[in-house]
């Protein structure tokens, strides 16, 4: 592997422990729209996707008006009503700081919309660590590698000089598509058995483990 110049992080389930709120907000949105409520596991499977392909999987019979209702209810639940905590994972900021101190570029590739990621940046204060970011409304949905291609083009880094870090098959599959090295995290939405299918360099249980993998 080439010397690492860039580490790209997924957000939900990777940097922030937000899977629980995503699941409960989506299930509440379905109930409020009078649609069949998807299972906890079904919602976990779509975390990381943009909302349109996520809705295709969760609500295949929903019409355009219902999809708009689900979106509005989900947004309101997640932002205003759901009180499920969404802390950063232990060691997240320390890991970003350590990597930045080694002059490694950092970026985010997320299924959140830009408004949502900017809100998280404001709440956590982490924005200064990241050289750039790409969101669901700025690129094709994961697992298409469009987000990663945009990021490495902007930053002038080759795919083999970067590492994608994520908790879902969608994250690892998009990196695999462009031969970008990848690391899975076990504390998010998808199980280790699924992540292992995408030949990651490693699957880590805690974000601080990343530093020793990245820093030569």
Known catalytic residues are 10, 12
Distance CA 25, CA 43 (A): 10
Name the helix (H) or strand (E) containing 169. helix 169-177
Residue 169 neighbours by CB distance under 10 Å = 21
Q: In this structure, are residues 210 and 165 in contact, taking their beta carbons and an 8 Å threshold? A: yes
Distance CA 133, CA 54 (A): 21
Distances (CA, A) of 112 to 5, 195, 196, 205: 25, 21, 24, 23
Distance CA 188, CA 89 (A): 10
């Amino acid at each position: 592997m080439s010397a690492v110049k860039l580490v790209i992080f997924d957000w939900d389930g990777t940097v922030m422990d937000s899977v629980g709120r995503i699941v409960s907000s989506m299930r509440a949105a379905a109930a409020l729209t009078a649609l069949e409520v998807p299972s906890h596991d079904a919602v976990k499977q779509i975390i990381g996707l943009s909302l349109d392909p996520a809705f295709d999987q969760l609500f295949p019979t929903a019409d355009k008006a219902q999809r708009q209702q689900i979106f509005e209810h989900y947004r309101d639940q997640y932002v205003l009503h759901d009180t499920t905590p969404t802390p950063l994972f232990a060691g997240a900021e320390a890991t970003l700081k350590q990597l930045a101190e080694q002059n490694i570029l950092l970026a985010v590739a997320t299924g959140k919309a830009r408004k949502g990621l900017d809100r998280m940046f404001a709440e956590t204060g982490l924005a200064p660590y990241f050289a750039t970011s790409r969101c669901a409304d700025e690129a094709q949905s994961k697992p298409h590698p469009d987000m990663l291609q945009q990021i490495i083009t902007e930053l002038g880094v080759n795919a083999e000089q970067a590492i994608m870090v994520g908790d879902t098959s969608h994250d690892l599959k998009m990196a695999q598509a462009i031969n970008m090295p990848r690391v899975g995290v076990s504390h998010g939405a998808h199980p280790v058995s699924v992540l292992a299918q995408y030949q990651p360099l490693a699957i880590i249980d805690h974000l601080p483990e990343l530093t020793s993998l990245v820093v030569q």
